[in-house]
Amino acid sequence: MHVALTGATGFLGLRLLRRLLDRHGSVTVLAHAGTGDALHRITRSFALTGAPPALLARLPERLRVVETDLELPRLGLSARAFRELADGLGAIWHSAGSIHLEGDLSVLRRTNVEGTRHVLELAAAGCGEPVVRHVSTAFVAGRRRTGVAYEDELGDGDGFENAYERSKYEAELLVHAWSGEHGRPALVLRPSILVSDVPPHPELPSHPLQVIERILRDARRTAVLAPAGSGGGPGGPHRGAAGPAGPGLRSSGPEGRARVRAVGHPHGRLNLLPVEHAADVMVRLAELPSSRGVDTYHVVHDRDVPVSTVVALLERLVPLSIELVDAKPEDPSALEALLDFYPGITAYLAHRRRFDDTRVRTRLGPSALCAPVGLDQLWSGLAPGGEALPRQPDAPPVLPPPPAPYT
């Protein structure tokens, strides 16, 4: 079976590609047109993440790169090239997409929804009826902050935390409609927040927590530069007091760290999963017999990470002191006002829900389980220059919680 993969140069896509190459002699990479030499970027990323020299040497002959545009009909290809591509495929992995949590819905739809539609058109055009393997997200569960999200659920009754979640939900609806219309099977894989302990490198794609760190740093820098009493960003004036942390920032503690009040729950939890484990689970799920309909799996960790661990991580990465509060402050500082314009950052600090993965554990057994994700591991994947994790002497150690009971 010959397979094609979108998003092969992305954070998850690179890991999926490694595992697909373990199982297939060659892979067609559907790379975004105009973004540079995909083969070079893949080779460089593989080298930086420890791929053996023998694999690197053979990549030019094992990878076929086709430049495409997900936002265009026929992926931007001519009718002939589109049909020839489709006829040569036995499976299509769709991993590409925009993960901008604060993005505009209309922009996100062009990539996440219309891009999925065009990939499904490619699958429908192939004479060999290639199977579809669609990478979604566990966060199609939306704004439901407590309880259990099940693998068979797909609805918008609770609304969504941001436009990204809605766009991925709409993309899943397309997969279901396509499967029903063509009577073809499809696999939907819903990963949680993917992380890595591989140190950051400018030539490697960022993962979600790196993006959050950068937004916090940029927002803090902007707030520091804002004169006290001036507008704190797009929202207008702020009432923050100047202090050691900078103009318009509230300081907290002897070091004058900027204090940020963020809506969150003291017992909140997030599901973080190492990306390497996620890719391995996804590829093994794709090898299982299909139900001939849409098979959906939560690719998640069996142990959630306390929000307190994520807060501790961010406080060590960015000179901030984060205080979880029940409601948005009525007197936001410049920094708090700026962060309020990035809805994808802090909304999840109040989440206490659990993602059920009974189907995955039933089908894969103990191999679906993963070692707990802790502060040290998260730091390794974010620390600049391989720095050691700084300890806060007054803070108690943050331990992973026990596995949530399955009921």
Lowest mean pLDDT among 1-15, 32-46, 70-84, 228-242: 228-242
Q: How far apart are CA 139 and CA 400, in angstroms?
A: 22
Residue written as tokens 């590609």? Answer: 17
Q: How far apart are CA 146 and CA 135, in angstroms?
A: 24
Predicted pLDDT of residue 343 = 57
Predicted pLDDT of residue 226 = 57
How would DSSP label each residue in 365-406? GGGG--PPP-HHHHHHTT-GGGPPPPP-TTSPPP-PPPPPPP
Characterize the bridge pairing of strands 354-355 and 272-274: unpaired
Between 407 and 172, name the one with better pLDDT.
172
How would DSSP label each residue in 29-52? EEEETTS--HHHHHHHHHHHTT--
Which domains are seen in the chain, by residue range? 3-196+271-299 (3.40.50.720), 208-269+304-353+370-386 (no CATH)
pLDDT confidence of 386, banded at 50, 70, 90? low
Q: How far apart are CA 124 and CA 62, in angstroms?
A: 25
**246-275 confidence digits (pLDDT tens):** 444 555 544 567 888 988 999 999 999 999
Name the DSSP letter for residue 269: E
Please give the distance of CA 275 from its chain centroid, rounded to a whole number: 9
Residue pair 222/233 in contact by the 8 Å Cβ criterion: yes
